[in-house]
Amino acid sequence: MELFRGVLLIWVSVMFSIQINSSNVHGRYHYHKKQNSKGSSVPSSPVSAPEVAPPLVPSTPSNSPYVPSNPYPNDPTNTTKSEYIFDVTNYGAIGDGYTDDTTAFREAWKAACAVESATVLAPSDKTFIITSTIFSGPCQPGLVLQVDGILMPPDGPESWPEADSHKQWLVFYRLDDMTFTGRGDDCISIGTGCSNVDIDGVTCGPSHGISIGSLGVHNSQACVSNITVRNAVIRESDNGLRIKTWQGGTGSVSDISFENIQMENVRNCINIDQYYCLSRACRNQTSAVYVTGITYRTIKGTYDVLTPPIHFACSDTVACTNITMSEVELLPHEGELIDDPFCWNAFGTQETMTIPPINCLQEGKPEKLVEVSQFGC
Ligand SMILES: *[C@@H]1O[C@H](CO)[C@@H](O)[C@H](O)[C@H]1NC(C)=O
Ligand SMILES: *[C@@H]1O[C@H](CO)[C@@H](O)[C@H](O)[C@H]1NC(C)=O
Ligand SMILES: *[C@@H]1O[C@H](CO)[C@@H](O)[C@H](O)[C@H]1NC(C)=O
Ligand SMILES: *[C@@H]1O[C@H](CO)[C@@H](O)[C@H](O)[C@H]1NC(C)=O
């Protein structure tokens, strides 16, 4: 499953038709890129086309940069940092909620990927249907995927093409310095090879939450660093904010920040699992992906009492370090308070009192403190 290493996946809830909701996230982060309809200049000499991963663009000659037919240069004095907007509707996307717009998204992505500081825009007031798709990097720096409208998969995984993964919808991988802003009903998973990724304004659920991993499968090396997820709403999901690694991996997950996340009836709201195993028969191994510098700031809302809201199961041999909790306040959605958060080999600090109270996070540092650099990332 090498293919799925290094992915940033976006999961979608497929159980319900997706409705624009009017949660505060939408309101607070509702900004639009002005489309400048007079401009039609083509970006001059896009830099050499990115190296692309096998699944998507196997046969395109990679050194003939794709020149977008009609990009809209953006007014640089406006707040956006993007030079160019690649509106998917200019690549043939219809956004009527029926037509398959996958090809248009791929084309817009391909074009934007080759240009520095480009934005792929899925404009508001439209519903785009796209099937499970891999958007691969490396891309030129500063790429933004801005979903103002709604992205949704066609009728749920049962109807997806056989070859598509039924668990992941949009897959991004090998991306450095990328921003995702979303307002549809989308969810995200970040795999190895992702660094400097900023994710803002996603709404997840029902179904999956936001996860990093799974990492380190088959004793592989995984490197994920500097990921910020902020202003998200997660509702009715199996997981909230999860970091999962297999035993036996190497590498590190460092400098991860979850900020301003609202939970609504979520299981496993805050979870680090370094014993991830699909078969229940994974043997114990000593090496592990080092997890360090994880910040949970302003995480509020309700949990499903079926599972404890906070669970840190770190590696026996490589402790998790520098976990920061600040303004974490989680209450039962229904039923009794669960007041026994679980920690194993987890070190960190609480800047404010966490609810439910968490006494198991160890202060200071483990005896055997390791440097991230030792893990080869
Ligand atoms: C931003 O762009 C809009 C339309 O493109 C323009 O009317 C407005 O003046 C711009 N703002 C600034 C600060 O230049
Ligand atoms: C972390 O990523 C952000 C972009 O999301 C970038 O602006 C920032 O410089 C990065 N920080 C480091 C230390 O690389
Ligand atoms: C792995 O280690 C745990 C804790 O030490 C132990 O409970 C479990 O039985 C071990 N599993 C295997 C497959 O050896
Ligand atoms: C702890 O992690 C934060 C980022 O989450 C980082 O800024 C800080 O330097 C780390 N502290 C130590 C002692 O490594």
Which position among 26, 30, 166, 208 bears the catalytic label?
208
pTM over 0.95: no
Distance CA 51, CA 123 (A): 27
Atom 8 in ligand 4: residue holding the nearest Cα: 293
Q: Give me the pLDDT at residue 155, please.
A: 62
Atom 10 in ligand 3: residue holding the nearest Cα: 284
For 66, 125, 175, 197, 201, the CA distances from 49, given in Å and listed in that order, are 8, 31, 14, 21, 29
The number of the ligand 4 atom at minimal distance from the alpha carbon of 295 is 5
Average pLDDT over residues 169-190: 73
Q: DSSP letters of 360-371?
A: -SBPS--SS---
Atom 1 in ligand 4: residue holding the nearest Cα: 293
Of residues 16 and 194, more confidence is placed in 194
Q: Is residue 236 part of a domain?
A: yes
Question: How far is the centre of ligand 2, averaged over its atoms, from the C-alpha of 73 (Å)?
Answer: 25
Q: Are 272 and 300 in contact (CB under 8 A)?
A: no
Atom 10 in ligand 4: residue holding the nearest Cα: 293
* Residue 168 and residue 114 share a domain: yes
Pairing of strands 118-122, 84-87: parallel
Q: Which of 244, 251, 195, 243 has the alpha carbon at shortest distance from 219?
A: 251
Torsion of CA 317, 367, 361, 231, to 10 degrees: -80
* Residue 189 and residue 121 share a domain: no
What radius of gyration do the chain's Cα atoms show? Answer: 21
Give the sign of the dihedral formed by CA 107, CA 205, CA 235, CA 135: negative
Token output for 148: 């103002």
Q: Is residue 267 part of a domain?
A: yes
Q: Any idea which residue has 């219809």 for tokens?
A: 94
* Residue 228 and residue 158 share a domain: no
Pocket of ligand 1 (CB under 6 A): 34, 36, 75, 77-78
* pLDDT above 90 for 350: yes
* Residue 234 and residue 349 share a domain: yes
Of residues 269 and 132, more confidence is placed in 269
For this structure, is 208 an active site residue? yes
Q: Are 232 and 206 in contact (CB under 8 A)?
A: no
Question: How far is the centre of ligand 2, averaged over its atoms, from the C-alpha of 285 (Å)?
Answer: 33
Boundary residue ending a domain (148, 182, 216): 182
- What tens digit of pLDDT does each residue of 315-346 get? 999 999 999 999 999 999 998 887 778 999 99
Distance CA 295, CA 64 (A): 42
Domain that holds residue 259: 184-377
Total count of domains within the chain: 2
Task: Indicate the top mutation candidate among 32, 36, 77 to test ligand 1's pocket, ranked by most ligand atoms within 8 A of CB.
Answer: 77
Average pLDDT over residues 31-40: 37
* Residue 174 and residue 118 share a domain: yes
Distance CA 323, CA 242 (A): 13
Q: Give me the pLDDT at residue 159, please.
A: 54
313 pLDDT band, cuts 50/70/90, is very high
Task: Indicate the top mutation candidate among 284, 314, 315, 316 to test ligand 3's pocket, ranked by most ligand atoms within 8 A of CB.
Answer: 284
* Residue 284 and residue 373 share a domain: yes
Q: Are 123 and 97 in contact (CB under 8 A)?
A: no
* pLDDT above 80 for 188: no
* Residue 359 and residue 210 share a domain: yes
Distance CA 273, CA 230 (A): 21
Range of weakest confidence among 7-21, 67-81, 243-257: 7-21
Angle, vertex CA 202, rays to CA 196 and CA 208, nearest 5? 100
Q: Which of 32, 25, 38 has the alpha carbon at shortest distance from 259?
A: 25
Q: Is residue 11 part of a domain?
A: no
Instruction: Lay out the sheet containing 133-136: strands in order across.
Output: 133-136, 170-173, 7-12, 186-190, 210-215, 241-246, 270-276, 310-313, 342-344
- What tens digit of pLDDT does each residue of 73-110 get? 444 444 444 469 999 999 999 999 889 999 999 999 99
Q: Give me the pLDDT at residue 156, please.
A: 53
Q: Any idea which residue has 């000499």 for tokens?
A: 45
Of residues 86 and 35, more confidence is placed in 86
